Structure 1
Amino acid sequence: MSKKNSTFGNIFLAIFGLPFLAAGLFVMFLGIKPAYQNHLAKDWLEVPAVLTELKLDGHGDSVKVVAEYTYEYQGKSYSSDKVAFNMTTGNVSKYHQELYATLNNANAGQVSCYINPDNPQEVILDRSLRLKMLLFMIPFGLVFALVGGGIICAAIFSGKKSKKEQLLAAQFPDEPWKKNKKWHSSIILADSSSGVWVLFCIAVFMNLFMMPFWAGILNSDKKVPWFAYGIIGLFQLIAFGLVGTFIYHFIRNKKYGKVNFHMETYPGVIGGACKGLIKIPMEVQAMDGFKITLKNIHQYTTGSGKNRSTHKDVLWEDSKIIKANNNTNSYFSTELPVEFEIPSGGRISQSDGDTKYWELKATADTPGVDFSEEFKIPVYVTEESEDRPVEVFEEKRLAESDYDLETNLKKNKIKMQSMTQGLLISIPAMRSLSAVFFSFIFLCGTGTGMAYAIKSNEYFVMFIVGIFFMVSLFIFYFSTFVRRELALKGEKLMIKQTHPLGTKLIECTRDEVKLDVACSMETNGKPSAWRLSVKAKGKKLTVVGNCKDQDLLKALKYKILKHNKAPENTEAL
C-alpha cells in the first residue's frame, strides 16, 4: 500500500470513529448532568405546592409525567412545570409511572417541591437520583465512546507506526527486522507480558456492553421470550469467560514474571539455525520437561463482511522436549536452551509483519497455573542462509528419530500394502469410534431439540438448533461412512474418497501433487489433531483426518513422495 493510500485510509478511519465517540460522550453527558444537578439540589428548601395539572403523556414505554403546579415563597406566588432534572423515558425503569401514581394519590393535589433559595423561580418536584437510568446510560455511552475513541486512536497510532517503520527501514536497509521496534535488540519479550492488559480492556468493554441489554429485558413491561435470555446469557458467559481468562493470565504473569528470549542467532536464519535462551525470572518445577515449539505461520483473511474469516496456516513446525539449565547467577530462576535447525525452500517464508511470522512457544505442566509463553521472533534470509530443502530436512529428522511408520499405521487403523512399483494405502470408514459415538449422541440431542422446536412453533430456536443439527449430522456422516484410498504406481498417483452419496477422485503424478500436514483441532489453545490433505489439478481431498500423531502424517507424506525414488544427498544437513 502506498503512503498516500495509507494516509487516506487512516483519515477515513478517524472520521468513521468520530460519530461513535460523539454519540457516546453525549449519552454520558445526558446521564451525568441530571445526577450533578440533583447533587446541587440536595440543599434546596422544601415548600408546599398545589398541582394544577397532572397527566401521563405518550404511550407504551415512552410515557412521561407532565405536571403544572403553584407555590409560595416569602409571600410571593410562583408557578412551574419543571418535574425532574432527568426526564428520559424508556423501559429501563418505571420511574414516570411510579411518580405519576405518587403525585396522583396526593391529598387535594397538595405536594412538596424544592426551590433554590437564591433563585425561587428555580424549582423541582422530584430530586431523587434515577440510579437505574444512570447505570444504563453511563455504560451504554461509555461503550460507544470507547469504540469511537479506539477507532480514532487506532488510526492515529497506525499512521505514526507506519511513519516510524518507514524511517527505520531507511535507517537499516540491510536489517529489515529492525523496523519492528520490538526487534531492535536480540532480547525478545514474551507476548503475554504486553497482552494481558489488552485482554483486561476487552473484558471490561464486553461486560459494560452487556449491561444495557440486561437492564432492558429485566425492566420490560412485556413478557420477554426465554430464548432472549438464552442469547444474552450466552454473550454474558463469553464476557465472564474473558474476565476469567484475564485472571488466569494475570496470575500466570505474577507467578512467572517477565519472560525473555535472548537470541544467540539474531535474527534466526532460514537455511540456518535459531539459537538462544529463554530466561524465566522464577524457578519453574517441570517434572516432565519443557516443550519448545517453533512455527512458521501464514495468517490471512478471506471473504468480506459477514463472510470475512481469519485463517492460520502452519508452513513449517518443529518441537522438542528439553530440561532446564541450572542458572549459576541465580538459583531462583530458570533458563531454557533453544536450538532449532531451520530448512529453506518450499512454503517456508521469512518474517513479514503480521501476515507471515515465526512463533516460538514454550510450555510445561507445573503445579497450579501451567507455564506457557509465546514469542514473535525475527527469522530472515541472511548471508548465512544455506540450501536446506524442507522435504529432505523433515525426512532426515524422522529417520534420525527411528520412527516406526508401519507399527503406528496399525495403531491408527490405517493399512499400507506394497504393490508392484508402488503402494496402496487404505483408510477405512469408522476409523475413529469415539468420533462416531459422540457425534451420534450429539445428533440425537439436537434432533430431539429440533422436533420440540417444530412442535412448539419456535422458529428462531428451530433455526439455531438446526445449525447444530446439520453440523453434527455432517460430522457423524463423514466419521461413519467415508472411506479413502491412495494408490501409487510408479509416478502415477490416485486418491479416491467414497461414501453412499458419491465418489471423489484425483488422478495425477507425484510431481503435480502437493501433500500438506496441518492442524485440524485445538484443545486449550494447543494442537490436538492433524490432517493430511492432497491438492492437485485444482482439487483438494483429505487423505487422513483426525490423527493425534503428527509425526505419523509427516512420515506417511514422505513415504508417498519418496517411495522407490533414488535417495538425495543430505550431507549438507
Structure 2
Amino acid sequence: MIGDILAIYGSTVFFLLFGSTILFLTLLGVFRKREAQYRTFVRYFKVYSIIVLGVLVLFGGELISLGVTEVLSGEPGGNPWITIGGGLAIITIVGVAFYVFFIAGPRALRKFESRKKEHPNAPWMWVDEWLERRIVYSGTGNLVFVWFVIPVVIFGGGFVWYMNRAIILAKMQSSSRFEVIAFALLMLFILVPALLGAVSWTRGQLKYGKSIFELSTYPGIVGGELAGTIYTRMKEIPKDGFKVQLACELTERSSGRSSNTSTVFLWAAERKVLMQELKMGPEGVSIPVSFSIPPGAEESDLWMSHNRRIDWTLSAFSGRKGTQYLSQFNVPVFKAWPKA
C-alpha cells in the first residue's frame, strides 16, 4: 500500500517539477541577451525555486508521515524506517539548498558589493580570503567530498550486484563470466588506488592540519612578483623539500544547447624548495615562496563574467611515506602596485 502511494505521488511531483523547471530554464536561455526580460525571469525563477523547495518539503513530510503511520500500525511488509529516512534526507537537502542559495549567497553578494564601493581600485580587497595578507588553506571540504564519493560508488556497486545477483551468478556459470570478471577487475583497478590515495591524503590532513600563506607582496603583481611564506604544522623538515607551483588557469563555460566547461593553463611555473631553504617556526615548517610573473599575464578575475574565470593557484606538495602534504591557495594577482 505504502509503495503504491509513494509511486503515484512521487512520479506526479517529479514530472510536474521536471517539466516546469525545463520550461523556466529554456525561457531564461532565450531571454539571456535581453537584460530587462532576463532580470524579470530571474526574479520569477527565484519565486519558482522557493515553491519547488516547499513542494519537496511537503513530499519529505508525507514520506515521514507514511513511515510513522506504518510503524504505529504494525503492518507487515516493507521497511518504514527507509521511508522515514528518505523523508528526513529530502528535508535536510532542501534546508541546506535554501540556506546556501537564499540566505548565505545573498549575504555574501551584499558584502561583496559593499567592498567594491569602499575599494573601487583595489579588487584584491573585495574577496574575504584576500582582505588580509594571510590566506588559510584547509582540505577538509575536499576530503569530505572524496569520502562521500568513494562510499557512494562502493555501496552503489554493491546495490547493483544485490539487485542483479541472479543474472551475475548465471553469467559466472556460463561463457560470459569473463565479462563479469573483467568489469570487477576494472572497478578494483579504479577504487583501490583511489582509496589508498584518499587514506594517505587524510592522514596528511589529520597530521598537518591547516596551512597559512602570508603574502609579502600584496597583491601579486603582473610584471612583478608574488612572494610570501607558507606556514605549515609539519614538525619535521622533509629531506626532499617541497615542490611549489604557481599556475594561472582559465575556466570557460560555453552556453547554448550543449553547455560545456573547459579549464586550460595560461601560465605555470614550478620550483623545488630545498631542505636548506626551509625554516622551523613555532608552529612548524615554513616554506619561502617567490615567483616572477610575466608582464603579459592575465589578472585574477572571479566576478566579471559567469562564463569566464581566471584563477591564480599557489600549491605546495611533499610526499612522505604513508602521508602526503598538500596545500593550495587561491592568490590575488593584479596589474597594480603592491600595497605597503
Q: Name the TM tier (shorter chain).
A: 0.5 to 0.7
What's the secondary structure of 1:153's corresponding residue?
Answer: helix
Cα distance change of structure 1 residues 23 and 304 upon mapping to structure 2, 3 Å threshold: farther
User: 1:269 corresponds to which residue?
Assistant: 221
- 2:122 is the alignment partner of 1:175: yes
User: 1:352 corresponds to which residue?
Assistant: 302
Higher-RCO chain (CA-CA 8 Å, sequence separation at least 6): 2
Cα distance change of structure 1 residues 150 and 351 upon mapping to structure 2, 3 Å threshold: same
How many angstroms apart in 2 are the aligned matches of 1:212 and 1:32? 28
Cα distance change of structure 1 residues 164 and 14 upon mapping to structure 2, 3 Å threshold: farther
User: 1:368 corresponds to which residue?
Assistant: 322
Instruction: Please list, as runs of the form range in 1=range in 2, the aligned pairs for 1:130-279 lying within 5 A after superposition.
Output: 133-134=79-80, 136-138=82-84, 140-141=86-87, 144-156=90-102, 157-200=104-147, 206=152, 210=156, 217=163, 247-279=199-231
How many angstroms apart in 1 are the aligned matches of 2:196 and 2:84? 24
What's the secondary structure of 1:255's corresponding residue?
Answer: helix
In structure 2, which of residues 249, 267, 288 is the aligned counterpart of residue 297 of structure 1? 249
2:278/2:287 contact within 8 Å kept: no
CA-CA distance at 1:300 after TM superposition: 1.9
CA-CA distance at 1:384 after TM superposition: 5.5
Instruction: Please list, as runs of the form range in 1=range in 2, the aligned pairs for 1:551-570 lying within 5 A after superposition.
Output: none
What's the secondary structure of 1:370's corresponding residue?
Answer: strand
Cα distance change of structure 1 residues 211 and 365 upon mapping to structure 2, 3 Å threshold: closer
Cα distance change of structure 1 residues 281 and 181 upon mapping to structure 2, 3 Å threshold: same
1:334-384 alpha-carbon deviations (Å, 9 max, x no partner):
111000111122x62333248211100111221221222111111112136
2:225/2:292 contact within 8 Å kept: yes
User: 1:521 corresponds to which residue?
Assistant: none
What's the secondary structure of 1:251's corresponding residue?
Answer: helix
1:351/1:379 contact within 8 Å kept: no
What's the secondary structure of 1:169's corresponding residue?
Answer: helix
- 2:285 is the alignment partner of 1:313: no
- Structure 1: which 5+ residue stretches go unaligned? 39-83, 87-94, 96-129, 386-573
CA-CA distance at 1:281 after TM superposition: 1.4
Instruction: Please list, as runs of the form range in 1=range in 2, the aligned pairs for 1:321-336 lying within 5 A after superposition.
Output: 321-324=272-275, 325-327=277-279, 329-330=281-282, 333-336=284-287
What's the secondary structure of 2:302's corresponding residue?
Answer: coil
1:375-404 alpha-carbon deviations (Å, 9 max, x no partner):
11111121369xxxxxxxxxxxxxxxxxxx
CA-CA distance at 1:209 after TM superposition: 8.5
CA-CA distance at 1:29 after TM superposition: 3.7
CA-CA distance at 1:263 after TM superposition: 0.7
User: Which has the larger share of helix?
Assistant: 2
2:237/2:285 contact within 8 Å kept: no
1:292-316 alpha-carbon deviations (Å, 9 max, x no partner):
11011111223567x4332111111
CA-CA distance at 1:143 after TM superposition: 5.1
User: 2:70 corresponds to which residue?
Assistant: 34
Instruction: Please list, as runs of the form range in 1=range in 2, the aligned pairs for 1:8-27 lying within 5 A after superposition.
Output: 9-27=45-63
How many angstroms apart in 1 are the aligned matches of 2:154 and 2:140? 25
Question: How many residues in Structure 1 have an aligned counterpart in Structure 2?
Answer: 288
Cα distance change of structure 1 residues 212 and 290 upon mapping to structure 2, 3 Å threshold: closer
How many angstroms apart in 1 are the aligned matches of 2:212 and 2:164? 48
How many angstroms apart in 1 are the aligned matches of 2:158 and 2:83? 8
How many angstroms apart in 2 are the aligned matches of 1:302 and 1:320? 34
What's the secondary structure of 2:94's corresponding residue?
Answer: helix
2:201/2:324 contact within 8 Å kept: no
User: 1:558 corresponds to which residue?
Assistant: none
User: 2:240 corresponds to which residue?
Assistant: 288
TM-score, structure 1 as length reference: 0.42
Instruction: Please list, as runs of the form range in 1=range in 2, the aligned pairs for 1:68-107 lying within 5 A after superposition.
Output: 84-85=74-75, 95=77
Cα distance change of structure 1 residues 371 and 136 upon mapping to structure 2, 3 Å threshold: same
How many angstroms apart in 2 are the aligned matches of 1:302 and 1:287? 45
Letter in 2 for 1:254: L
How many angstroms apart in 1 are the aligned matches of 2:70 and 2:309? 49
CA-CA distance at 1:183 after TM superposition: 1.5
1:293/1:320 contact within 8 Å kept: yes
Which is greater in Rg? 1
CA-CA distance at 1:257 after TM superposition: 1.5
Letter in 1 for 2:336: T
Percent same amino acid at aligned positions? 19
How many angstroms apart in 2 are the aligned matches of 1:217 and 1:28? 25
In structure 1, which of residues 340, 351, 356 is the aligned counterpart of residue 291 of structure 2? 340
Letter in 1 for 2:220: G
Cα distance change of structure 1 residues 16 and 249 upon mapping to structure 2, 3 Å threshold: farther
How many angstroms apart in 2 are the aligned matches of 1:8 and 1:136? 35
Cα distance change of structure 1 residues 25 and 264 upon mapping to structure 2, 3 Å threshold: farther
What's the secondary structure of 1:163's corresponding residue?
Answer: helix
1:13/1:155 contact within 8 Å kept: no
1:25-51 alpha-carbon deviations (Å, 9 max, x no partner):
43244334433x26xxxxxxxxxxxxx
Letter in 2 for 1:323: L
CA-CA distance at 1:290 after TM superposition: 1.1
1:199/1:246 contact within 8 Å kept: yes
1:500-527 alpha-carbon deviations (Å, 9 max, x no partner):
xxxxxxxxxxxxxxxxxxxxxxxxxxxx
Cα distance change of structure 1 residues 311 and 216 upon mapping to structure 2, 3 Å threshold: same
CA-CA distance at 1:8 after TM superposition: 5.2
CA-CA distance at 1:210 after TM superposition: 4.0
Letter in 2 for 1:161: A
Cα distance change of structure 1 residues 368 and 178 upon mapping to structure 2, 3 Å threshold: same
Instruction: Please list, as runs of the form range in 1=range in 2, the aligned pairs for 1:500-511 lying within 5 A after superposition.
Output: none
